[in-house]
Structure 1
Amino acid sequence: MTKPDVDPILEQLLDAALPHVAFDGWSPETFAAATRDAGVDPAVVKAICPRGAVGLAIAYHKRGDAAMIAALRTADLCDMRFRDKVAHAIRLRLQVIDDKEAVRRGTTLFALPHMAADGAKLVWGTADAIWTTLGDTSRDANWYTKRMTLSAVYSAVILFWLGDDSLNMQATDDFIDRRIDNVMQFEKFKAQAKANPLFKPFASTLERMMSGIKAPATQTDPDLPGVWHDPQ
């Protein structure tokens, strides 16, 4: 993977941890082994990564997002429909993963009840990275609905991909297309419903309610969905 501009010691710890993740998961044992193998002072490690292996799992996911963004920025998307651009971004996110077992172990970790919020934030962050890199300009409630919908699609794709043993991951490619089709069908249904005279009074009321919802003014607010500043 292409590595983002992050603390080099954290990157060193993450690289040292990955060979152990397949056997011990994102666990205290893996974190201890990474600290030992990286040859970093434990006091420094604790300061950089106070959450231990959880912080490393988060860093690994963010590394993948950064690699996807880099690949997406150089991809030729000119002749693609927007739905195909989104599908291509999801495929790129899978392609930059260099350790499937690390993702499998991470999925298991973030499925735990007390880790669910962290997992949701990571998936939201991936969805936000895709929409932002593709040039999303929505500033109203659509900013949120786009990311919520894509978060659901990406979560489903990851679970399918983890169990896919087809040639060249063709089954996953087909699955991505089906999920995007489902989203487009839902959007078509919404448009048809809004045009229905019976729905118009409700639609007008709903639009007035939603008009006060605005996209975040800044991406640095730690209270925003998909944006957090937990120490690693």
Structure 2
Amino acid sequence: MTDPQPEPKTQLLNAALDHVPFDGWSEASFAAAVKDSGVDPTVARAICPRGAVDLAVAYHHRGDAVMLERLQNEDLDALRFRDRIARAVQLRLEVATDKEVVRRGTTLFSLPHHAPEGAKLVWGTCDAIWTALGDTSEDVNWYTKRATLSGVYSSTLLFWLGDTSEGHQATWDFLDRRIDNVMQIEKVKAQVRQSPTLSKLLAGPNWVLGQIKAPTRFPKGDLPGSWTAPRD
């Protein structure tokens, strides 16, 4: 019994990966992928209207899926929560076996007209990590956690691209330092909350932030947030 044929986009992506290190996520790579995969050009353009850009997005989503699969098989019980986050970020980078493919993607999504898409992809990765680790926040913390991790992930990714140390140990050390920085910020925030004077000064802003809800409270989960209107 033969294995089922991959869907056309998967065929295109697999074929494109041979060309991206040389031509980037470009029209040339897309044309070569169409030719090598045997996918009908009309079908290829229908499923990838933006050509290689759509394949770059698919490549990132594939990496997220593999990361989540490996994360499910990890024994995280003995780890501190900050170490679980670090391990998830490490896994996400490890599943990217070709640095040049990732580098080309970083270049693509740093272009002004593709930057929003790149930010969305990074946010999606961090959302997937927090969700997989059991985050249940429903207020403004839903946003701050993902925004903070997006900064950590992005900076670690850039460091990883230039890292030549054995086993990328320098990258993992860099990641630990970035997470330690975040933990220091959280410690300061906790001290502020415990201060009666500062708590009074920040009562108004804290009330405003308390009205912000996570998008998961919507059935479709496709809104950036919500405002809870005060009751009469």
TM-score where L is the length of structure 2: 0.91
Which residue of the partner structure matches residue 9 of structure 1?
A: 8
State the shift of 1:218 in Å.
4.4
SS in 2 for 1:114: coil
Q: Which residue of 1 aligns with 2:207?
A: 208
Moved over 3 A (4+): 218-225
- 1:162-182 CA-to-partner distances (Å, cap 9, x unmatched) read 000011101001001000000
**Cα distance in 1, alignment partners of residues 14 and 220 from structure 2:** 28
Question: How do residues 51-62 of structure 1 correspond to structure 2 at under 5 angstroms?
Answer: 51-62=50-61
The farther-off stretch of 65-74 and 199-208 is 199-208
Residue 111 (structure 1) shift: 0.4
Aligned counterpart, 1:103: 102
Change (3 A) 1:219 1:159: farther
Q: Find the aligned partners of 2:97 and 2:149 in 1 and give their Cα distance.
A: 23
> What is the correspondence of 1:19-34 to structure 2 with a 5 Å cutoff?
19-34=18-33
Deviation at 1:96, TM superposition (A): 0.9
Structure 2 Cα separation of the partners of residues 41 and 99 of structure 1: 27
Tell me the equivalent position of 2:144: 145
Matches of residues 1-232 of structure 1 in structure 2 within 5 Å? 8-216=7-215, 217-218=217-218, 220-224=220-224
CA distance in 1, matches of 2:155, 2:34: 34
Secondary structure class of the residue paired with 1:63: helix
Q: 1:207-229 deviations in whole A, cap 9, x for unaligned?
A: 2111111111247444448xxxx
Give the CA deviation at 1:204: 1.9
Counterpart Cα distance in 1 of 2:53 and 2:14: 14
For 1:67 and 1:219, the matched residues in 2 are separated by: 26
**In structure 1, how many angstroms separate the alpha carbons of the residues matched to 2:20 and 2:223?**
31
Instruction: Kindly indicate whether structure 1 or structure 2 has the higher relative contact order, using CA contacts under 8 Å at least 6 residues apart.
Output: 1
Whole-angstrom CA distance in 2 between matches of 1:222 and 1:211? 20
Q: Percent identity?
A: 60
Q: Post-superposition shift, 1:201?
A: 1.4
Name stretches of at least 5 consecutive residues in structure 2 with no aligned partner.
1-5, 226-232
1:35-74 Cα distance to aligned partner (Å, 9 max, x none):
0000111110011111100000000000000000001111
Rounded to whole Å, the distance in 2 between the matches of 1:188 and 1:206 is 19
1:228 is matched with none
Partner amino acid for 1:183?
Answer: V
**Structure 1 unaligned regions, length at least 5:** 1-6, 226-232
Return closer, same or farther for 1:69/1:218 CA change in 2, 3 Å cut-off: farther
Distance 1:220-1:69 versus aligned 2 partners, 3 A rule: farther
Q: How many residues align?
A: 219
Match of residue 4 from structure 1: none
Larger Rg: 2
**Cα separation, 2, equivalents of 1:55 and 1:224:** 23
Matched to 1:113, the amino acid is P
CA distance in 2, matches of 1:19, 1:131: 32
- SS state at 1:113 partner: coil
Q: Is the alpha carbon distance of 1:43 and 1:223 closer, same or farther for their aligned partners in structure 2, counting shifts above 3 Å?
A: farther
CA 1:53–1:223: 2 relative to 1, 3 Å: farther
3-state secondary structure, aligned to 2:72: helix
